[in-house]
Structure 1
Amino acid sequence: MNRITILVITFLLVFMSCNKKKSEEKEEIQTEKTIEKLSTKAANVSILQTTFVINGLNDIAHKIWLYLPPNYTTSTEKYDVIYMHDAQNLFDDATSFVGEWGIDETLNTLYKNTGKNFIVVGIENGGEKRIEEYTPWKNEKYGGGKGAIYINFLVNKLKPFIDKKYRTKPAAENTAIIGSSLGGLISFYGGLKHPETFGKIGALSTSFWFSNKVITFAEENGNQKKTKLFLLVGDKEGDSMVPDTENMSELLIDLGFPTQNLKTKIAANGKHTESFWKAEFLEVITFLFNLENNERTNN
């Protein structure tokens, strides 16, 4: 085999290798496009055009997701309102971290079966700033500590905005604040700090471990007589999660929190995941809004 023949064969092999690599890259790109998550939010979920930069918190323009009841445009009814955090994870697989809560599907089914309706206001978290937004106190390792600013925004700016633009029942007894993990911590804090605004609290898988100051806070603010509180934790969430939740429940009862207004659930096999909170959401609002008794009354 002469030198020219060898060069020609080498060139052909290199050419074929390059074409194969390009073909593989093209197939990889097409595969990525195929597995791109599709939007799963219901038609009655929207993102408001108005965004909010929260003074003193950070420079992020927070998007607000809004769930309106299926009969909103065909009625003059006013509605109970649920404020929730981590809006990216509530309604849509396309924006969720590791799966959505399915709030819209759950509430649409609830309306279909019972006629009960809610407005849900979801506030997007600030991404890498989430810790500082959802923590009222600093942690030596993780930082944070701007949660009071975030809650003041909900109380003094966002809720008045929603109450003005939409047909809400604005009283505290008709308003809930619900979240999970650090979102559970900020819900616990916000609800007890502002019982005149939030009469119902869903604190799911709450990160009570974040700061010991939560104990002092509970001692100073836990003697609520009208607030309803649902504490949820799964028994597979970590070493301290269950005892932290149980201890907080016992503390509140000792402080005079009415036992009929407090439900503490330790869920078997519950893990720190969106799928767990999705599965428990209906039970949470059933307790907070007394849906079982309302259904019996309506029947």
Structure 2
Amino acid sequence: MQQFLRLFLLFFFISITKTVAQQRFSTFEIEAPQLQTKKKIWIYLPLNYEKSNKKYPVIYMHDAQNLFDKAASYAGEWNIDETLDSLKAKVIIIGIAHGNEKRIDELTPYKNEKHGGGNANAYLEFIVKTLKPYVDATYRTKTNTKNTGIFGSSLGGLVSFYAALQYPEVFGKVGCFSPAFWINKKEIFQKMEDTQKFTTKIYLLCGDKEDDGAMVSDMKEMETLINSKRCECKKLNKSVIVKEGKHNEKLWRNAFAKAYLWLF
């Protein structure tokens, strides 16, 4: 009986150790004075980070609740840590938890007559002036533009695209999944039109079953506008339309690896 108990405890310990080892992310909180709140931040460090002295690119991602942990997600997770581990990716991910009822405010650049919002300038200022300096001081990061990305889906895709226009000297690479251009369409297209130089590397993606077709047409329209600002020969943007793709975590989870590999 004692031997059985010892074996049980041993296997239980191994199981717990394995579970902890598989949790390839951690969290911390940081003051966000621009938003008058605290923000929960989720961080992924590449394999063997502790055993090296290398510096790594950083991707800032929105809606962190949906990136790593199914239990924290609203409708499934992206499996970011498992995906990057499988690729042996040399990148740091900084996931920013959305503000729940303030999500629309934080992730929309302009106020929408029906849905409100329009506080993305403060949200991005938090990332650029508070969070990024902390991350760069705490972790071994490559701090320049070409090694700093921003990535999101839906409203997160919208605010990531806006970040490229608002802070081109900070974000050199953008992942833009199912961008909700519709909520600020007039303003975001005008801002892109007014942009004289656009050098950001950008990956656009949506599914053809997300809505009544407006998502696809808006994305194609934006791609045309981007191409009017630079030569397509530079191959700085890629646009993907997923057949039968719907507006959900499954679409974004399945597309993340290819987007990451193309961007980095």
Could you tell me which residue of structure 2 aligns to residue 102 of structure 1? 79
User: Structure 1 74/146 Cα, relative in aligned 2: closer, same or farther at 3 Å?
Assistant: same
**Paired residue type of 1:126:** G
Could you tell me which residue of structure 1 aligns to residue 31 of structure 2? 52
1:187-226 mapped onto 2 (5 Å cutoff): 187-211=160-184, 212-221=186-195, 223-225=197-199
Of the three residues 267, 278, 291, the one matched with 2:253 is 278
Residue deviations 1:145-196 (CA, integer Å, cap 9, x gap): 0001101111111111100000000011011100000000000001222111
**1:222–1:257 CA contact under 8 A, matched in 2:** no
1:49-128 mapped onto 2 (5 Å cutoff): 50-55=29-34, 57=35, 59-111=36-88, 116-128=89-101
TM-score, structure 2 as length reference: 0.88
User: Structure 1 155/258 Cα, relative in aligned 2: closer, same or farther at 3 Å?
Assistant: farther
**1:65–1:124 CA contact under 8 A, matched in 2:** yes
**1:40–1:93 CA contact under 8 A, matched in 2:** no
**Paired residue type of 1:84:** M
Runs of 4+ in 1 over 4 A off after TM superposition: none
Give secondary structure in 2 for the equivalent of 1:198: coil
TM-score, structure 1 as length reference: 0.78
Which has more radius of gyration?
1
Of the three residues 258, 269, 273, the one matched with 2:244 is 269
- Within 2, Cα distance between the matches of 1:185 and 1:219? 16
- Within 2, Cα distance between the matches of 1:64 and 1:221? 31
Query: Tell me, which stretches of 5 or more residues in structure 1 are unaligned?
Result: 1-38, 290-299
- Within 1, Cα distance between the matches of 2:196 and 2:59? 21
Give secondary structure in 2 for the equivalent of 1:70: coil
User: Structure 1 222/237 Cα, relative in aligned 2: closer, same or farther at 3 Å?
Assistant: farther
Q: Percent identity?
A: 47
**Paired residue type of 2:191:** F
- Within 2, Cα distance between the matches of 1:197 and 1:47? 24
Residue deviations 1:233-280 (CA, integer Å, cap 9, x gap): 100001210000000000111122645001011111111001110000
- Within 1, Cα distance between the matches of 2:45 and 2:230? 36
**Paired residue type of 1:284:** A
The Cα of 1:41 is off from its aligned counterpart by 9.5
The Cα of 1:44 is off from its aligned counterpart by 2.5
The Cα of 1:221 is off from its aligned counterpart by 2.6
Query: Tell me, which stretches of 5 or more residues in structure 2 are unaligned?
Result: 1-18
Bigger RCO (CA 8 Å, 6+ sep) = 2
Could you tell me which residue of structure 2 aligns to residue 252 of structure 1? 226
Residue deviations 1:34-79 (CA, integer Å, cap 9, x gap): xxxxx9994330001x322342x3x442100000111111111111
Could you tell me which residue of structure 2 aligns to residue 287 of structure 1? 262
Residue deviations 1:204-250 (CA, integer Å, cap 9, x gap): 0000101110111111236313x100110100001210000000000
